Amino acid sequence: MNILYIGAGFVGTCSAAVSADSGHGALVYDINKERIRKLSSGKRDVIESCLFEDGLAELLIRCKKNITFTNSAPEMKKFIDRVDAIFMCLPTPEKAGEEGQSNLSYYEAACETLAKMLSKRQGGKQSSYVVIINKSTLPISMIDRTKEILEAHKVKNFGIVSNPEFLVEGKAVYDSIHPDRVVIGAENEKDFKIMRALYQRFYTSSSVKYIEVNPHEAEAGKLLANFMLFSRLALCFDVIGRTCESFPRISFERVRDILKIDPRIAPWGLYDSLYAGGSCFIKDAASLAYQLESAGGNAELVRGVLGANNYQLDHFLSRIHAEAHAIIKGVRIALFGAAFKQHTNDVRNSGAIRATEFFLQEGAQEIKVYDPAATDEFKRVFNPKKDAQYKKITYTKSEDACLKSTSMAFIATDWPQFQSLAEIIQKTVKAPYLIMDGRRMLCNSYNNLQSAGFSIIAVGSQFMKGKKV
Ligand SMILES: NC(=O)c1ccc[n+]([C@@H]2O[C@H](COP(=O)([O-])OP(=O)(O)OC[C@H]3O[C@@H](n4cnc5c(N)ncnc54)[C@H](O)[C@@H]3O)[C@@H](O)[C@H]2O)c1
C-alpha cells in the first residue's frame, strides 16, 4: 500500500518506519526542514540527534528504499494521487493559558493543506477511495471537525478513522512492531476492512488485541488509558512517597516490596520520581478534564492528579531550603539528566527544565548539565550562546566533568548509568556536598554517602544529613 504520514515526530516516524519495513511504501511529510534533512540523512548519529529511539536509525537505514521524508508540498500532492491511507501524526499540545483545551492548530492546518490536495486528486475526479487515520491524540468528538474541514474543501470518497497510538517513548520502535493492542475506531465496514488489510500482521496475530470500536470510543479509550497511568504515578509520588518522606525509618523500596506482592496491585509505575513529564500524560489529563467539564461532568479527580504531579516537583525543590537549609545563590550545581525520562532525547515537560529555571531564579553561579542524549534538545530551551539570560548554563560531556567544582548534584533523569554516580561523586567532589536525588538512583548507596559526609534529599526519603567526616 502507499501510505502518507503527516508529521515526522516520534509517532509518525516510528510508525512509518515499521510500515516501510513491512513492505508498504511510505512518504513522511513534515514542515520542519531540519528534521526532514536529518531523518533523510541515512546516518545513524544524525538521525539520533533528531529522534533518539532505540532501533529507529537502523530501521530507517535498512528500509531506505521504502520510505521517503519530505517537506515539499508538491511531492506530497503527487503522492496523494496514488495514496491508499493517510496517517495524521500531528502534535496536539495544551493551549497556553487555557484550562486544558487542546491546541488543535497544527492538526487543523495539516487537515486544511491535505483537504486542498485531496479535492484535486486524479485531476479533480477524486476517483480513488482514501482513509484519513488519526494517530494524534485528539478530543473525543474531533472526527466531526475533521469531516467538516474535508467537506468544506469538497473532498469526496473518503473515510475517517481513529487509530490512537499507545507506543512508549524510549521503546517506540519495539512497541510499533509488537503493540499490545491496535484500536480502530471507524464508522463503517469499508473502513474497518481497509484497516484490517493495513494492519494484517496484527489483525491475524494471537499476541495482539485487535479492538474495533466507534471513533468516540477509540479517542476516549486513549485519553483514559493515559489518565490511568498518570494517576498511578501521582499516587506513588503523592501518597506512597510522601508517607516514606514523612516518617523515620521507612524505605520506599521495602514498602514497595510489601505492596507489589498483592496481585491486585499492578507492578507498573511503583516508583518515586520528582515529576511525571513528557509530551502526553499532562496535556492529555488536562484535555480530559476540560472535555469532562465542558460536557457538564466532574473532573475534580483528574485536576487533583495534575495538581499532585505539580506539587511533587515544587515540594522537592522546596526541600533544599526547608530541610537542608542550603542557599543556591552563588553555588555551582551539577544537573544530571535533561530528558524527561531515560532512553529518549525528548525534553518536553522534563523536570530538569523547571529545576533549571528554579536554580537561575535563586541566583546559582553555574548550572552544569550532563545528559547522554538530550543535550541538543535542552539547548533549544536553554541556549547560552543565543540568550544571555542562560549564560550560567554550561554543557558537559561526562559525569565527572559535570561534577567538577560543584557543591550540589541534582539527578533529574533515570538514565541507568546514573546508578554509578555514587562512586563518581565520592571520587570527584568532597563533603560537605548536597545530593538531590529526584529518581532514587542512588538508593543503594545512601548510607555510604551519608557516612562519607554527603547530605541527601531524595524523593521518598526523609532528609539525610551528612555525618561529620
Ligand atoms: N510521543 C509519544 O510518546 C506519543 C505516544 C502516543 C500518542 N502520541 C500522540 O501523537 C501525536 C504526535 O506526537 P509526537 O510525539 O509524534 O509529536 P512530535 O512533536 O514529536 O511530532 C509532530 C511533528 O509534526 C510536525 N508538524 C506540525 N505541524 C505540521 C503540519 N502542519 N504539517 C506537517 N507536519 C507538521 C512537527 O514539525 C513535528 O515534527 C500527539 O497527538 C501525541 O499526543 C504521542
* Predicted pLDDT at 444: 97
Quick one: average pLDDT of 58-78?
A: 97
The position carrying cell 506539587 is: 311
- In DSSP notation, 342-366 reads TT----TT-HHHHHHHHHHHTT-SE
pLDDT band at 241 (very low <50, low <70, confident <90, very high): very high
**φ and ψ at 162, to 5 degrees?**
-105, 125
* Predicted pLDDT at 71: 97
Radius of gyration of the chain (CA): 24
Q: How far apart are CA 310 and CA 305, in angstroms?
A: 9
Q: Which ligand 1 atom minimizes the distance to the CA of 166?
A: 6
Fold of 223-308: N-(1-d-carboxylethyl)-l-norvaline Dehydrogenase; domain 2 (1.10.1040)
4-35, pLDDT tens digit by residue?
999 999 999 999 999 999 899 999 999 999 99
Q: How far is the CA of 162 from the centre of ligand 1 (A)?
A: 15
* Predicted pLDDT at 257: 96
Residue of 463, 454, 375, 446 whose CA lies nearest to 415: 375
Q: Does domain 312-458 have CATH number 3.30.1330.90?
A: no
The position carrying cell 538530550 is: 374
User: Where on the phi/psi map is residue 335: left (φ > 0), alpha (ψ -120 to 50), or beta?
Assistant: beta
Q: Tell me the C-alpha to C-alpha distance, in Å, between residue 42 and each of 34, 35, 55, 281.
A: 14, 13, 13, 32
Collapsing DSSP states into helix, strand and coil, what is residue 213? Answer: strand
Single-letter code of the amino acid located at 35: R
Ligand 1 binding pocket includes 155 (Cβ within 6 Å):
no
> 2-213 with 312-458: one CATH topology?
yes
Q: How far apart are CA 52 and CA 33, in angstroms?
A: 18
469 has a pLDDT exceeding 80: no
Q: How far is the CA of 248 from the centre of ligand 1 (A)?
A: 45
113-147, pLDDT tens digit by residue?
999 999 999 999 999 999 999 999 999 999 999 99
Listed by start position, the domains of the chain span 2-213, 223-308, 312-458
Q: How far is the CA of 258 from the centre of ligand 1 (A)?
A: 40
Angle 147-148-150 from CA coordinates, rounded to 5°? 65
Residue range 2-213, CATH number? 3.40.50.720
What is residue 468's DSSP assignment?
P
Sorted by sequence, the CB contacts under 8 Å of residue 61 that are 6+ apart come out as: 42, 44, 47
98 has a pLDDT exceeding 90: no
Residue of 179, 180, 185 whose CA lies nearest to 218: 185
pLDDT band at 468 (very low <50, low <70, confident <90, very high): confident
Q: How many CB atoms lie within 10 A of CB 270?
A: 19
- Please, are residues 102 and 95 in contact by the beta-carbon 8 Å criterion? yes
Q: Which ligand 1 atom minimizes the distance to the CA of 169?
A: 3
pTM: 0.96
